[in-house]
Amino acid sequence: MLPMLSQGFLSWIARKQSLLQLLSFFLCLIASEASNYLSEFLFLEPFSDFGEVQTLPGKKAAQGTFTANSVLPHGGIGKVYPTINRYNSKYLPSTITVTSKLVKQLMPPRSSSSRKGDNGIVLVAGGSRFYHGAPVLASMAALRSGADLVYTAVPRSIITSVRSFSPAIIALPLPDDKLTVGSANRLAAMLPKRVDTAAIGMGMSVEQEAIVVLVKKLKEDGTKILLDASALIPQIVNEISNTCSIVTPHAGEYKRLFGHDPGTTKSEMTSNVRKLAKEYGIIVVLKGWLNVISDGEQTAIIKRSTPAMTVGGSGDVLSGLAAGLLTKMKPFDAAIVAVYLNGLAGSLAFKRSGLHIIATDLVDILPAVIKPFDKVKQERL
């Protein structure tokens, strides 16, 4: 009698487990569909404001090409929905309506047969005894951009803190607390793989000559360069001239780098950024209440999504995001899309936490922000 009861009880438990598994499956399916619906829903209605893409008078744009940027609602209040629109003309007008669809067109597809490394390898070099968080934020943003590998070079004194943040970080120890010429040479020699892009300067203490040495060595290997924070020194300008490298200064760093104030009005900032980008053959991303991005030919103007973005580390997230996108995009397009996505992440973080966001909130939100722009190219093997 007892064995029969045991068998019946076990059978009853098995049926219950099957029902629970089935219920769990349907709940996961519903959650997945809800997530996809939400991602699509975020991109249905127009922004309350629009950004601009400008060209120099009389300049032609390539037939059928697009440049995209975005302006998010003032203060992050209201709905976060860009418009859907296209522009295709032999000549670009002075301003273009910015669209999420345009950004989706710029985002490159990922091959279904790609292997580790095919989707971008990034070097982040930064950090110091006081600022170990900056290179971590940049590295995590680069990974969230879709890059396959990110090497994070930081002083040995903070490497334990950096490694403990995430197992996804591949930390490379530098011997000194500041970037010296010796550290620069050692870093160039220790890289496990050739990197597609390098983001340099976040939270870093530097010897000026060392930045020039490191950038020169990376350029020799065909690495694309993004410079931020401490790497924005006057001595580096000649080294990156006519390389389409990206620099991401705020107003104070802009003055230190170029020796001129960027201006205070929209017209002043637009004119000054465009002029210097053209003069030096680089992409300038002036950060602030108004983000101005220019390669000297085209200029994108993107208003800050929310004043909550003044929090420390938001610029490090932007640099890492841009570096990740730069592995597979043209520099100007990568800069514009990075500012767009970073601003959208800030706006969504603001809706959740108000004026109390921190930079890691942006990193955490990036997957949901970028997912609607994902594309996979099916390859026949």
Question: What per-residue confidence (pLDDT) applies to 101?
Answer: 76
Q: What pLDDT, on the 0 to 100 scale, is given for residue 179? A: 97
Q: For position 162, what pLDDT does the model report?
A: 97
Cα–Cα dist 366/337, whole Å: 13
pLDDT score recorded for residue 278: 95
Q: So what's the pLDDT on residue 32?
A: 46
Question: Which residue reads 């938001």 in tokens?
Answer: 314
Cα 362 to Cα 214: distance, rounded to the nearest angstrom: 29
| pLDDT score for 103 | 87
- Residue-level pLDDT at 20: 55
Position 303 scores a pLDDT of 87
Distance (Å, whole) CA 375 – CA 170: 27
pLDDT at 379: 84
Q: pLDDT tens digits for the chain (381 residues)? A: 444 545 555 455 455 555 555 555 555 545 444 444 444 334 333 333 334 555 444 444 332 233 333 333 333 322 333 332 333 323 333 334 456 877 898 999 999 999 999 999 999 999 999 999 999 999 999 999 999 999 999 999 999 999 999 999 999 999 999 999 999 999 999 999 899 999 999 999 999 999 999 999 999 999 999 999 999 999 999 999 999 999 999 999 999 999 999 999 999 999 999 999 999 999 999 999 999 999 998 888 888 999 999 999 999 999 999 999 999 999 999 999 999 999 999 999 999 999 999 999 999 999 999 999 999 999 877
pTM: 0.79
The Cα–Cα gap between 280 and 205 comes to 25
Q: Please list the alpha-helical segments (H only) found in the chain.
A: 2-41, 100-106, 133-144, 159-165, 181-190, 208-220, 237-240, 251-258, 266-280, 314-326, 331-353, 359-370
d(CA 154, CA 17): 50
Q: How far apart are CA 72 and CA 158, in angstroms?
A: 36
